[in-house]
Amino acid sequence: MEASTQSNGALLSLKGISKRFGPVQALNKVDFEVRAGEVVALVGDNGAGKSTLVKVISGIYDADEGQFTFDGEEVKISGPQSATTLGIATVYQDLALCDNLDVVANLFLGREDIAPGPGEVTRQLDETKMEHRSAELLDTLAVTIPSLRNEVGTLSGGQRQQVAVARSLLGEPKVVLLDEPTAALGVAQTAQVLALIKRLREQGLGVVVISHNLADIFEVADRIFVLRLGERAGTFGTDDTTEEHVVSAITGARTGQEGEQEGQA
């Protein structure tokens, strides 16, 4: 495992996070943690606070209260840049790729390699180096793309998702947040993306996946974190729970047994 861990094993942990938008309490004293080499699924009904929680972690929203611990140290996250600097990468649902640029250009967008020598004056791109690094990166992730020089617009949805995930890894993050990575994908493409998520775990990254698809979650996640009405409605170990339990936690049908199935004990 590349990422260091601390005594209780959490790479990123949030304590008592609250976020309020006017009269709406989007998050209410939520505790959340991800360990290195672990995939945590974040589930909940629409409006449960999943997106708010991810945006708090990725620095888009400032939490009203609560504390962050990253890699054993208490930190403050304010602004997307500070989250990126800590080593938290986010892949949003819309992927934010430029369809008119090729795979290499998209991977390195905003952090292009510059050619040494006279080319430095004009900030000439080092295409050879970038293509080489892209090939290596996609190779380690076992992502297969017909050609690195294909425009991203010509790729399938699954390939685009994989490019977006690969891009987030170029900054060498320790935690990766994936927002609905399998939404709108076909069966084969979903399998590709889930396989990629598993490889991220093998590389020792902490992975947080937002998803509505319980089948996908049960296939890939180690733990399932359920949010309901801005509060934590339970954490389940994937191995010792069932879809029924998770669904009832999401819908609140079994509020009396909240947190009972704590799978990490």
Partner 1 sequence: MSTPEQAAPAPAGAIVPSRTEFLRRFVQGDLASLRVVLGLAVIWIIFQSQNDRFLTAENLTNLMLQITAVGLISVGVVYVLLLGEIDLSVGAVSGLSAAVMTVLNVNHGWDPYLAIAAGIATGMAIGVLQGALFTRFGIPSFVVTLAGLLAWQGALLQVLGKTGSVNITNPKITGLANIFYSDTVGWIMAAVVIGIYAGVTFLGHRRRVAAGLPGVPIASQAVKVVVVAAAVIVAVAILNSDRGVPLAVLILLSFVAGMEYVVQRTRFGRHVFAVGGSAEAARRAGIRINGIRVAVFAISGSMAAIGGILAASRLLAVNQTSGGNDFLLLAIAGPVIAGTSLFGGRGSVWSALLGALVIGSISNGMDLLALESAVKYMITGGVLLLAVVVDAIARNQRQQAGRI
Binding interface with partner 1 (CB under 8 A): 92, 94-101, 105, 109-112, 114, 122-125, 128-129, 131-132, 135, 147, 151, 153-154
Select 131 or 216, whichever has its Cβ closest to partner 1. Answer: 131
Longest dimension (CA), the chain: 69
CB of 179 to partner 1, least distance (A): 13
> What is d(CA 102, CA 107) in angstroms, rounded to the nearest whole number?
9
Select 135 or 229, whichever has its Cβ closest to partner 1. Answer: 135
Select 71 or 151, whichever has its Cβ closest to partner 1. Answer: 151
CB of 27 to partner 1, least distance (A): 23
CB of 187 to partner 1, least distance (A): 16
Residue 126 Ramachandran class (φ > 0 left, ψ -120 to 50 alpha, else beta)? beta
Select 73 or 94, whichever has its Cβ closest to partner 1. Answer: 94
Classify burial at 191, counting beta carbons within 10 Å of its beta carbon; exposed 0-12, middle 13-18, buried 19 or more. middle
Calculate ∠ Cα 184-190-191, nearest 5°. 170
Residue 152 phi, psi dihedral angles, 5° rounding: -60, -30
Select 58 or 192, whichever has its Cβ closest to partner 1. Answer: 58
CB of 63 to partner 1, least distance (A): 21
| Closest C-alpha among 152, 230, 238, 235 to residue 201 | 238
CB of 175 to partner 1, least distance (A): 18
